Structure 1
Amino acid sequence: MGFLYSQFCVRPPYPEQSFANQTVLITGANVGLGFEAARHVVRLGASRVILAVRNVPAGEEAKQQIETSTGRSGVCEVWEVDLASNQSVLDFGDRIAQLPQLDAALLNAGVATLNYAKAEGLERSITVNVVNTLLLSLLVLPILKKTGKTVPGSQPRLSFVVSEVHAWVSLPEWKADHILETLSEESKAKMNERYRLSKLLEVLVVQELAGRVRGSEVIINMINPGLCHSSLGREAGGAAQVIRLLLARTTEIGSRTLVAGITAGLESHGAYMTDGHVENTALSPWVRSDEGRQARIKLWKEVATILEGVRPGIMQNAV
C-alpha cells in the first residue's frame, strides 16, 4: 500500500534551491533520471555540471538538449566513465581530483539486466552497481571534503540512487565465506532478481560508508526515486513493461527526488530518502535488523579487500 500511495498520491516538490557557484557531478546523466536531474541543476544556476557517461556521443547529445532547454551554455561537460571497468573508474576519479571544487556528487548510473556476464571477476551488476559505485564514491570523497573546508558556505553532498526494490529480495548468501564470489557464480545468479539484490548490497555498503564519514564534512544519503519511466528497465519482460506503463512516475517527477538528495540537510546523513524526504522506516526490516547489521559489516570488509587490491590505500578515504 505504501508503494501505491507514493506512486499515485505523492508528488515530490519541484526543485527550487539554488546551485549558484556550485560544481556538480552526475553519473548516468545522458538519459532518464540522471538527465532530468542534470537539467534541473543547470536550470538552478550551477556553474559547472559534469555529465559522467559511458557513451560519450549520447552524453554530447544530452548536453546540447540541456543547454537548449535551459538557455544556459558553457555549463555542462561530458566526461567518460565505465563503471564496469576498474581502470576507467580510477582514471575518472583521478580527473575529478584535479577539480578546484566539487560541491555535490550524484551517483545515479547503474545497470539492470537479465543477461549473465562478468566484469572484473564478478557478475556485472555487482561490479557496476555495488563495487565500482563504492570505488567512485571513495575517489570523489577527498575533493568533496576539501571543498567543504575551503569554499565558504559549501556543504558537500554525496548521494546514491538506490531503490525500494532492495526490500523485495533476501540475502541468505551473506553467510557464505565469500558473499560476492558466491553471488557471481553463474549457477547461483538469479538474474530475474539481480537488480533488486544489487540495490540491497548497495544500501548496505552506503550505510557503512556514511557511518564512517562525518556528516559535518560530507552529507551522504540514499535516494529512492520510486518507479519511474526510464531506460533502466529496457530489458524487462512484457509484464514488467505493463506495470511500468500503469504505475510509473514521469522521468522528470522522479528526478526531483534526486535533486532533493543533493540539497538535503544534515538530517539526511546516512539516511534513506523517498519521495524527496528522509524516511528510514521505509528501509527493509531485514536491513534494520541485527542480522542485516552483521551482513553489512561482513560485506564491507569483503568489498574493502577488493578495492584495496584495485588501489592500495583507497579505504583511508572512508574516514
Structure 2
Amino acid sequence: MSSFPAFLKSQLFYTPRDPLSTDPAFAAGKTIIVTGANTGLGLEATKCFVRGGAQTVIIACRNLSKGEAAKHSIEESENSKGVLQVWELDLSSYASVKAFAKRCETIPRLDSVVLNAGIATGRFQRVEGHEAHIAVNVISTFMLGLLLLPILRRSAATTGSRPFLTIVTSEMHFWTTLPQKKSPNIFAALDQEKGADMMDRYNVSKLLQILVVRHLTRVVIGDRFRYPVVVNCVTPGLCRSELVKDMGLTPVVFKKLLGRTVEMGGRALVNAAGGLVGKESAGEYIADDRISEPSPLVRSEEGAELAKRVWEELVPILERECPGIVAGIAV
C-alpha cells in the first residue's frame, strides 16, 4: 500500500478469495505447518487447509493446552479427525526453534510452511539478547525457515512437487524509514533501549523480513524461479486479530473500524502458501492475492544495499546458534 488511499481501497473493497472456490481439494494429501496456529489468522489458515483436504496440518504454538483446544475446536467444526497435530514452538527461545526443526526431520513430506507467528508490543523487551521484535519476528523466524529449507527441498525431490515457505509480513513496512540504517550495525542499533521508538519497531521488523526474503531469493539462491522451494512473503492486510492488543487503544480501535475478519486474513495466507497466487510468487511480496510492489525503499538501489547489509548481519547471528545453517540453502 504505497499510500493511505490505496490502503483504504484494499481494506474496504477487496476480499481475499476462498481457495476452495478455485480448487476444493487444493491441499489434498499435503503436510503443512502453520506457526501461531492456535489463534487468529493462523487458526483460520489451519481450518482452510483442513477443508482443502490436507493429510496433516501441524499447529505450531507456544502453549500446548491452547493448541490442543484449537485442534479440538477445528475437529468439531470441520468434522475432521486425524489430520491435526499440535507441536510446541516458542520463537522467543532459540532452543525451542531448533528442537522444533529437528522434530520436523521425521516428517515424510512437507509441502507448505506458513511462518505466521510474531509479536507486536509497545514495550522494549529483550529476548535471547536482542530486542524482542527483532529476535522473534526476524531472527527466530528466519532461523526456523532456513532450518526447514533442507526438509522442504528433500520433499520436493521425493514428491516431484514444489513446496512453499511463506513469511507473513505486513503492509506496515511501508511506514518506516528504518532510522537504524544510519548506524554501522543495524541489529546492534535495534538492541539499544535508549531512544528506541517502539511504535515503529513492528514496522521495522516487517521491513527487515522483506529485505531478507529479497536478498535470499535474488542473490543467495540465485535463480529463485528454478529453486525447488518457493520462498515468498504475504501481507494479510489489517485484520481484527489480537496482534496489537499490547500497543494501546489507537491501533485496537483502528483495527475494529477498518480491519478484515481473521477468516479473510487466513485466506490470504493460504493463497500465498500454495493456493491462488502460485509458483511465480517466488521471492515476491503478495498483497490482495497477487504479486505486489513492496515499499519504494525496498525496491530502490538503497534497498538492495540495505538487504545485503541486513543479510550479512543476520547470518553470523544464525550461524552462532546453528553452525552450517546457511549451507543448507544450497541445492
TM-score by length of 1: 0.97
Per-residue deviation, residues 254-284 of structure 1 (Å, max 9, x unmatched): 111101111132210001100111112xx11
Partner of 2:186: 179
Gaps of 5+ in 1: none
User: 1:215 and 1:24 mapped to 2: Cα distance?
Assistant: 21
> Secondary structure at the residue paired with 2:122?
coil
Is 1:94 aligned to residue 107 of structure 2? no
Partner of 2:197: 190
CA contact (8 A) 1:219 1:266 kept: yes
Partner of 1:13: 17
Is 1:288 aligned to residue 296 of structure 2? no
Amino acid at match of 1:185: Q
258-267 vs 67-76, greater mean Cα deviation: 258-267
> Secondary structure at the residue paired with 1:25?
strand
Q: Which runs of 4+ in 1 moved over 6 A?
A: none
1:4 to 3, 8, 28: 8
Is 1:164 aligned to residue 175 of structure 2? no
For residue 192 of structure 1, report the CA deviation from its aligned partner.
1.3
User: 1:27 and 1:254 mapped to 2: Cα distance?
Assistant: 15
User: 1:172 and 1:31 mapped to 2: Cα distance?
Assistant: 32
Partner of 2:265: 254
CA contact (8 A) 2:150 2:329 kept: no
Gaps of 5+ in 2: none
User: 1:221 and 1:229 mapped to 2: Cα distance?
Assistant: 23
CA contact (8 A) 2:116 2:168 kept: yes
Partner of 1:210: 217
User: 2:49 and 2:73 mapped to 1: Cα distance?
Assistant: 14
1:268 to 259, 264, 281: 281
CA contact (8 A) 1:120 1:127 kept: yes
For residue 55 of structure 1, report the CA deviation from its aligned partner.
1.0
Report the RMSD for the aligned CA atoms in angstroms.
Answer: 1.1
User: 2:258 and 2:247 mapped to 1: Cα distance?
Assistant: 15
User: 1:200 and 1:136 mapped to 2: Cα distance?
Assistant: 18
User: 1:74 and 1:215 mapped to 2: Cα distance?
Assistant: 35
Partner of 1:82: 90
User: 2:98 and 2:326 mapped to 1: Cα distance?
Assistant: 14
For residue 177 of structure 1, report the CA deviation from its aligned partner.
2.1
Aligned residue pairs: how many?
316
User: 1:31 and 1:175 mapped to 2: Cα distance?
Assistant: 37
> Secondary structure at the residue paired with 1:30?
coil
Partner of 1:297: 308
Is 1:66 aligned to residue 74 of structure 2? yes
2:149 to 118, 141, 144: 141
> Secondary structure at the residue paired with 2:233?
strand
Is 1:132 aligned to residue 140 of structure 2? yes
Amino acid at match of 1:11: T
TM-score by length of 2: 0.93
Per-residue deviation, residues 210-248 of structure 1 (Å, max 9, x unmatched): 223344300111101000011111113222222111100
Amino acid at match of 2:265: G
User: 2:196 and 2:250 mapped to 1: Cα distance?
Assistant: 21
For residue 318 of structure 1, report the CA deviation from its aligned partner.
2.5
User: 1:227 and 1:30 mapped to 2: Cα distance?
Assistant: 19
CA contact (8 A) 1:15 1:256 kept: yes
Partner of 1:121: 129
2:62 to 43, 54, 61: 54
User: 1:92 and 1:209 mapped to 2: Cα distance?
Assistant: 22
Amino acid at match of 2:92: A
Per-residue deviation, residues 180-203 of structure 1 (Å, max 9, x unmatched): 111110003211111111111111
User: 1:259 and 1:273 mapped to 2: Cα distance?
Assistant: 12
Share of identical aligned residues, percent?
A: 43
Amino acid at match of 1:258: L
CA contact (8 A) 1:174 1:299 kept: no
User: 2:263 and 2:306 mapped to 1: Cα distance?
Assistant: 35
Amino acid at match of 1:190: D
124-133 vs 184-193, greater mean Cα deviation: 184-193
CA contact (8 A) 1:256 1:276 kept: no
CA contact (8 A) 1:182 1:188 kept: no
Is 1:26 aligned to residue 34 of structure 2? yes
> Secondary structure at the residue paired with 2:65?
helix
253-262 vs 234-243, greater mean Cα deviation: 234-243
User: 1:69 and 1:290 mapped to 2: Cα distance?
Assistant: 49
